Every structure is written in structure tokens, then in C-alpha cells.
Amino acid sequence: MKSIKKISPHFVLLLYVAVILYPFVFVILSSFKTNNQEIQSNPWGLPNVFTFSNYSEVWVKGKISVYFFNSLYLSLAAAVCGVILAAMMSFAITRMKFTKSSKWLYQFILVGMLIPGNALFIAQYILVADMGILGTHWALFLPYTAGAIPLSVLLVSAFMKAIPSEIEEAAVIDGLSAGGMFVRIILPLTVPALVTVFIVNFLGNWNEFLLSNFFLSKDSLKTLPTGMAGFRDAFQTNYALVCTGIIYSVVPVFILYAVLQEKIIAGLTAGSVKG
């Protein structure tokens, strides 16, 4: 009985992993196949001949390269700016105690987490139209950056609260200003939380569809999710090419997580336990 109890959780986890991964395995295998007939006749089998021409065709003919780099620099830029703003706001709220109302300011920022992003769509559309940036990447960059602030402040501030106050006192004695303390002491100590926030923001920006679909009309400015929507229609008779485009959209996420996974886990666990 004891052996069964030990094995059963692992079996359940393996079953869960299989259910999660089987669509991805199907997409990978299909991306190397040549036509729909091969995919339909043998969906889970290996390709008769591994062909890499699908990847070059999708990259050039399908304009995935344009959509890919649009998403990449928008997601990176907004995520980096979101991390910087969240770090500065969290430092001011949790460490500086500039006013007695800092607690209320913190709670006001967190209220943004209670408002669904889609509920603000019309207001955001009117705002970017009035600003004259509709149809440009600024129409996505600003909402991406601002929309990530509440959750980012929650995670970073929880981490900063755990930093001993004695470190600040020693920095003041050494003559550091508030800015110097923030850059030279607080930021390096908060790296795990900042990496976690960066990944969360990047993934949200990378997968965002609604704003990019309505705020951008030029094909050369579209991001990967909106470009893939049109790409799927353009190649609806060739599922191999569609699956190849999906691979391009998920590979950067896997690489980013594989490189930074230790920092992500450290940031989440430290923030949840100490905060």
C-alpha cells in the first residue's frame, strides 16, 4: 500500500504532463511534414522525410520574420520599462516612507489588479486616438507598460519589504543618497523578483491579441499573434506551414524560461514567503 501511495502522485503528474505536451508534440511533428495528407493519415507518426523548407518558407513568404521582431522588441521594451517603473515605485512605497499615505497609495495601485483589462478597451482606444498614436507601436507600448504595473508592484514590494533595514542605515552612514541606495544596494538585492516580473510582463505582452488587433492596421506593424491569425487563413490548406508558424511563436518563450528559470523560482518563493 505504501508503494502505491508513493507511485500514484507521480503517475498523476506524468499523466498531466502527457496531456499538456501532446498538442505540442503534434505541432512539432507536423511542422516537418510535407502536406495535409501525410498529417491526416499519420498524425502521430514521424514524417516520411524530414523537411526544413517549411521553416524558411514561413519565415520569408509568411512574413513571420516581420511579426516576430515586432513582437520581440515591443514585448522586451514594455517589460523592461515596466520592471524599472515597478522597482522605483516599490522602493518609494516600501522603503522611503515619504508620507503617511504611502500605504493608501500602495492599495490604490493594487486596485488596478481588480479591473479586467478588456473592460478598459474602449477607454484605451479613445485615449490613444486622442493622443494621435493610433496605428503606431506607441499605442501598444504605453498600455503594455502601464497595465503591468499593479502586479509588478505587488511582487517587487513584497520582496523589498524583506530587505533588512540595517542595510539602509549602513548606507546612510556611508553617505549614500536615496538614489544611490536604490541603484547600488536595493536593485541588486531585488534581482530575483525583478526577473520574475520581467518574465510575467514579457509573456503577457508576447501573447496579447486584443489591443494589437484593433490598434494596428498596417501589416508591417502587426505583432505575432495578430499576424498569425491572418497567416492561418492564408495557409488554411497547408497545416504543416501553420504548425511551423506556431513553433516560431513558442520557441522564444521556452528559451527565455530555460535561461531564467532559477531566478523566476527564487523571486516567486521569496516574495510569497517573506512578503
Confidence of residue 271 (pLDDT cuts 50, 70, 90): very low
For 149-184, what is each residue's pLDDT tens digit?
998 998 898 888 888 878 877 877 877 787 888 888
- What pLDDT shows up at residue 195? 87
How far apart CA 66 and CA 219 sit, in angstroms, is: 9
Q: How many helices (DSSP H) and strands (DSSP E) are in the chain?
A: 15, 0
According to CATH, what is the number of the domain 62-271? 1.10.3720.10
How far apart CA 25 and CA 39 sit, in angstroms, is: 13
Question: Number of C-alpha atoms within 13 angstroms, CB side, residue 156?
Answer: 36
| Reported pTM | 0.82
Confidence of residue 127 (pLDDT cuts 50, 70, 90): very high
Residue 137 has pLDDT above 90, yes or no: yes
DSSP 42: S
Residue 10 has pLDDT above 50, yes or no: yes
Name which of 2-6, 66-70, 151-155, 237-241 the model is least confident about: 2-6
Domain layout of the chain by residue ranges = 1-50, 62-271
- What pLDDT shows up at residue 162? 83
Determine which helix (DSSP H) or strand (DSSP E) holds 127, and give its type and residue range: helix 121-131
Residue 96 has pLDDT above 80, yes or no: no
